Amino acid sequence: MMKQNRRTVGIRNFVLPALPADLTGRHGCSLQRMTFDRSIGEEICAIYFEEPDFADQFSEVRPFNLIAHSGLARTPHGVVAFIVWQIAAHSPQEVLIEQFPNPDNIGTIRLVSSAANQSHFKMLVINNRTAEVAAFVDFAAASQHLMDTTTVQQLLVLSQLDATDPLKV
């Protein structure tokens, strides 16, 4: 059954606990299990851990576009899954962050499966020292904005990674 996890208590009213030692100071984006609303329970979101000097810059990005480019790449050592998170896409703060989830790990499969079984997907930009939330994206709201304001042809143009990106095939 689809988990109905639409946020109902405001878009930036987050109080996150102190980061675990293995996440403090980390930079990057990854899928995480979080509970934002006890009545909804645990859900899967993307968290982008950013350095303190840059995290707050994301709070002013409007619209805050998030694009996830995913795929598989064959290597001499086996197949690797990847997600390239295009955070604050097409803004001066845009950043591309790669993630390599392990498709052979049952925990990864459960994480991705749980994320796919939610009505809404959230993404947080947090200060990687203080755990302060700098920006929040609700994927359903962001998708609706694109559907209301962007043509299919414009979406095709937006979907292209920069030609100098080493992941472009």
Give the predicted TM-score (pTM) of the model.
0.75
- Judge whether 148 lies within some domain: yes
Question: Are the C-beta atoms of 112 and 101 separated by less than 8 Å?
Answer: yes
- Judge whether 21 lies within some domain: no
Which of the four pLDDT bands, split at 50, 70 and 90, describes residue 160?
low
- Judge whether 76 lies within some domain: no
- Interstrand relation of 42-50 and 66-75 (parallel, antiparallel or unpaired): unpaired
Alpha-carbon gap, residue 72 to 35, rounded angstroms: 30
Phi-psi region of 41 (alpha: psi -120 to 50; beta: other; left: phi over 0): left
**By three-state DSSP, how is residue 18 classified?**
coil
- Judge whether 17 lies within some domain: no
Mean pLDDT of 112-126: 90
- Judge whether 115 lies within some domain: yes
Which of the four pLDDT bands, split at 50, 70 and 90, describes residue 169?
very low
Please state the domain count of the chain.
1
Strands (E), 51-166: 66-75, 78-87, 95-99, 122-127, 133-138
The mean pLDDT value of the chain amounts to 82
- Judge whether 89 lies within some domain: no
- Judge whether 55 lies within some domain: yes
- Judge whether 39 lies within some domain: yes
Whole domain around residue 45: which residue ranges? 28-67+105-158
Would the pLDDT of 114 be above 90? yes
Bigger pLDDT: 167 vs 126: 126
Give backbone dihedrals phi and psi of 16, rounded to 5 degrees, phi first.
-90, 145
- Interstrand relation of 122-127 and 133-138 (parallel, antiparallel or unpaired): antiparallel
